[in-house]
Each structure stands twice: as C-alpha cells, then as structure tokens.
Amino acid sequence: MVRTFTTCMQCQVENGAPNLGSFGMERIPDDSVIEVICDRGHHTFILIQQAKYEILSELAVTALCDGYYREAVASFASALERLYEHYVDVVCRARDIDRAAFAAAWKPLRKASERQLGAFTILYLIEKGEAFPLLADKHVSFRNNVIHGGMIPDRNQAVAYGQAVGDCAAPLIALLHSARYDEARQSIIFDNLREKSQRALEAGVRHSTQSIHTPFSYNGSSVGFDLEAVLAERAKRPNMDDTVTVSHALARLLAGTASPSQN
C-alpha cells in the first residue's frame, strides 16, 4: 500500500494557513485520486500527478521495506510494463497521434503483456534505430517463477530483481525527460490531471494537485539507479503517522487555548 501526506486545501484557503487537524496519511488508489473529508467537514480531492509506473515503483519499495518480497517483485515487474506503455503513449503524442486513436490501438493489447512488449520494442527500434536493452532472461525467468510459479523470494533475490528492473528503466526514464519527448510527456500529464479532476468538478468541490517523489522519479542527472541507496534513504525517513498524531494533538491544544477568548 502506498500512502501520502494530505491536508485540506479548503481550510488553507479559508484560514490562510494549514489546518493541523486536517493532516493525514491516505492511501493512493488505483486512479490516483484521493478523496478527503477533513475534521471540519470539507470535502476535497487530491490528484496525484505521477504516472502509474512511478506509483508502482513506490509500491515495490514500500513492500521491500515492509518485508513483503513477493509483492515487491510483482510491483517492480508491473512498474516496468507500465513504463513501456508510457513510452509508447508519449511517442504517439510526440507524433501527433490522437489520444483516442492510441487508446483504441492499445485496447487489444491491454491484457497481453507479451504483445505490449513487442509493440514497445519495435517502436523503440523505429525511434532510436537500435534495440532496447531489455531485462536479462534470468531476471525474466525469476519473475515468472515468482508470479506464476508461486516462488517465495528472500530479500536478496527481491532486491537483485528490483535493481535489475531499475537498471533497465533508468535510461528509458531519462529519454522520456529529454528535449525530444518532454513536451509530449508534459502534455500527457496535463491531460491525465484534467481527466482526474472531473470527479471533483462533478461533485462541485475543490481539488488540488500533488506531486510525490518515487524511486522511478527522474532525478535530472546521469546517475544510475541504486536500490540499496533508496532503501537506506527510506529507513531514515520520519514516521509520518507520528507527525500526523502530533499535529492533531497540537490542533486540539490550540483550539482549547483559543476557546476562552471566544467566550
């Protein structure tokens, strides 16, 4: 489960300052639209900007940190597949192919991972004039043993697979953020946010956009992917649940302090 820190933007607008009592840690759902009702009854939506492959990479690392190694392997595998799909989507946008046309073409492939991989590899060849360095066969076999064969991996095996996926993904992520594709990539982000905002517009409530940093977020440098470094950084992060608890206690304290002056 991937969670992110949330706060009520309606309280922020009305008070000109964050409402400590509205702070929370909420799960990011499949559509990346978080519905929040704060302690003051405000109904708002938070739209997560990141693409699906980024959210899945976060889920994979979270699973590793929590000791769920089989789930980590599955999430890393899914993250790579969704990254390939994202590349195809971005290239089509860069070539001015209508999004509805892309969706119609991709629909028959949606539940066929091998056909998706074929579409990606040929498109990459057309775009770059060379074959993409895919995940090595030993890692593909390992993934299949875990996903389809019921294998239960240990930490070292899960980390090794995650590192291999990261090594495979990193150059493609850098390519997507290059000048060649950046405009098309940004266009897709805006379209996705516009689609996500429809729920809030239909409900007539305020919505805000949130960006989170994930293991597959582009860092703007040529440094490769280092999964152990990512895990070490995660281990140093503060417990945000504790932060939320303290914030709520402080909000109650401030409310109690303010109440006599209101009488």
State yes or no: pLDDT of 260 exceeds 50: no
pLDDT digits (tens, 9 = 90+) for 10-47: 898 888 888 888 998 999 999 999 999 999 999 999 99
* Single pTM value for the model: 0.91
Higher pLDDT, 134 or 241: 134
Arithmetic mean of pLDDT, 229-238: 91
Distance, in Å, from the CA atom of 183 to the CA atom of 17, rounded to the nearest integer, reads 34
Q: Above pLDDT 90, what percent of the chain?
A: 72
User: Strands 24-27 and 33-37, how do they pair?
Assistant: unpaired
Q: And the tokens for 123?
A: 């498109």
Distance, in Å, from the CA atom of 162 to the CA atom of 226, rounded to the nearest integer, reads 10
Collapsing DSSP states into helix, strand and coil, what is residue 19?
A: coil
